[in-house]
Amino acid sequence: MAHLWQPRGPDRPADGEWSTTIRRVRAEFEEMPGLRVTPAQARALFGLPDGVLGRVLDSLSGEGFLEERDGEYVRRHSTP
């Protein structure tokens, strides 16, 4: 997984915590094929503040792992 350098903003946790959060969210989508969540549902499911959640979803989307369909996030290879 390639990492691009980004300045740490107030919504970006420390590197170890960031990696753990990314792995945890990725694992939920891997363990539940077909999982579709809106940002509000993802916030409740993962227990993350808006800023952190937005960065996580953007990161996983940027990697090609997730995509947004009709306001919901889903694994890229999942069928509609």
pLDDT tens digit sequence for 19-64: 999 999 999 999 998 999 999 999 999 999 989 999 999 999 999 9
pLDDT tens digit sequence for 53-64: 999 999 999 999
Q: What CATH number should be reported for the domain holding residue 35?
A: 1.10.10.10
Long-range contacts of range 52-57, CB-CB < 8 Å, 24 or more positions apart? 52/11, 52/12, 52/13, 52/21, 54/11, 55/11, 55/12, 56/21, 56/22, 56/25, 57/25
Please, which residues bridge with residue 78 across strands?
A: none
Give the CB-side neighbour count of residue 63, counting CA atoms within 13 A.
Answer: 15
Q: For position 35, what pLDDT does the model report?
A: 96
Specify if 36 maps to a domain. Answer: yes
H or E segment to which residue 75 belongs: strand 72-75
> Is the Cα torsion angle 64, 68, 69, 74 positive or negative in sign?
positive
Q: For position 1, what pLDDT does the model report?
A: 47
Structural domain of 56: 15-75
Domain count, the chain: 1
Specify if 51 maps to a domain. Answer: yes
